[in-house]
Structure 1
């Protein structure tokens, strides 16, 4: 067995472990990406269908794609949060980092970006940019709405740092101590199925799949 092959296998194993930790970190602060994506699909398609008289180009799939991306984009901050909390390449860190405290989870900031883009679209007479701006706001705010079912979001930042949620603002899901892959997921599912968010997400996914198929 060559040294190059052994090195390659180590890289693959290390990548799998890193992916597991990223997923574990993600599921520690739900809602899951599947739920955000499904919710983004529903709100984006509804928005596009409502604007067809004003923007005939709404059927172009690029606008739906932007809405879908915007519905999960705020959670891209988790890669940085994971780096700070756990570190990459087996650095020994174990900090408690809440990614929803970052500016990427500030709804008013995203609203400002969307509105500014819409104004630029009006000035430039670009209907595409106007639609992008609308779908960006719809997608990101759909994300924040569902994030507000658990832990909460800083809806009034920069005017307030308070977290606002429909229930349990600022409370995390109980930490799962299991280190093994299967034991972690069993522990996660036992906790997750007891929470309202699990059933809300399942319902949203079912509705989104039904809307897509029919």
Structure 2
């Protein structure tokens, strides 16, 4: 996904929990884009030697660990635990969205096997062009437009509420 992580997570968390608090929602949105912080390493340190989905930030067990640690932490520190729980949940949504066309090793560390739902063939001179011209990118655009519509409707309702 190029543009769909934040809009996709927005739709998931708006639909899954209509009255999700601001802290939890914010944490989920941060978590939904956090795995791609590895792009800094990919470009500035690793010189693009390895696909960024091979880094730890793209291992679902890491995000499940954040979620589980947050659930445990909530027993003593509700706000910190809530943030960590939804940060992990947002990261897991990112992993699910990446699994559509990307290589995510869901069974790591037991297996490095990846099974993307759709394989984007190299049909253009650059891999980005291949993705941008693939039908899945049109779905990503639709997700983004739907998220904008939901956000706008939600915003309008909040302005009209007494």
Q: Show the counterpart of 1:146.
A: 97
Cα 1:69–1:172 shift into 2, 3 Å? farther
- 1:39-71 per-residue CA deviation (whole Å, 9 max, x = no partner) reads 12112223432xx4xxxxx43x33222111110
5 Å-filtered alignment, 1:56-95, equals 58-59=20-21, 61-86=22-47, 95=48
Q: Using CA pairs below 8 Å that are at least 6 residues apart, which structure has the higher relative contact order?
A: 2
CA–CA distance in structure 2, aligned partners of residues 67 and 113 of structure 1: 12
CA–CA distance in structure 1, aligned partners of residues 65 and 88 of structure 2: 9
Q: Show the counterpart of 2:116.
A: 165
Cα 1:99–1:209 shift into 2, 3 Å? same
Q: Identify which of 10, 30, 39 aligns with 2:8.
A: 39
CA contact (8 A) 2:103 2:115 kept: yes
Task: Give the TM-score taking structure 1 as reference length.
Answer: 0.63
Q: Structure 1 segments of 4 or more deviating over 6 A?
A: none
Which of the pair has more CA radius of gyration?
1
In the comparison of the two structures, how many residue pairs are matched?
Answer: 153
CA contact (8 A) 1:43 1:139 kept: no
- 1:113-145 per-residue CA deviation (whole Å, 9 max, x = no partner) reads 2201211212x1x33234323322321111111
Root mean square deviation of aligned Cα? 2.4
CA contact (8 A) 1:44 1:135 kept: no
CA–CA distance in structure 1, aligned partners of residues 45 and 79 of structure 2: 37
| Matching of residue 202 in structure 1 with residue 145 in structure 2 | no
| Matching of residue 100 in structure 1 with residue 53 in structure 2 | yes
CA–CA distance in structure 2, aligned partners of residues 38 and 146 of structure 1: 11
CA–CA distance in structure 2, aligned partners of residues 172 and 72 of structure 1: 26
Task: Give the TM-score taking structure 2 as reference length.
Answer: 0.81
CA–CA distance in structure 1, aligned partners of residues 111 and 6 of structure 2: 28
Gaps of 5+ in 1: 1-30, 53-57, 87-94, 177-186
Tell me by how many angstroms 1:84 deviates: 3.5
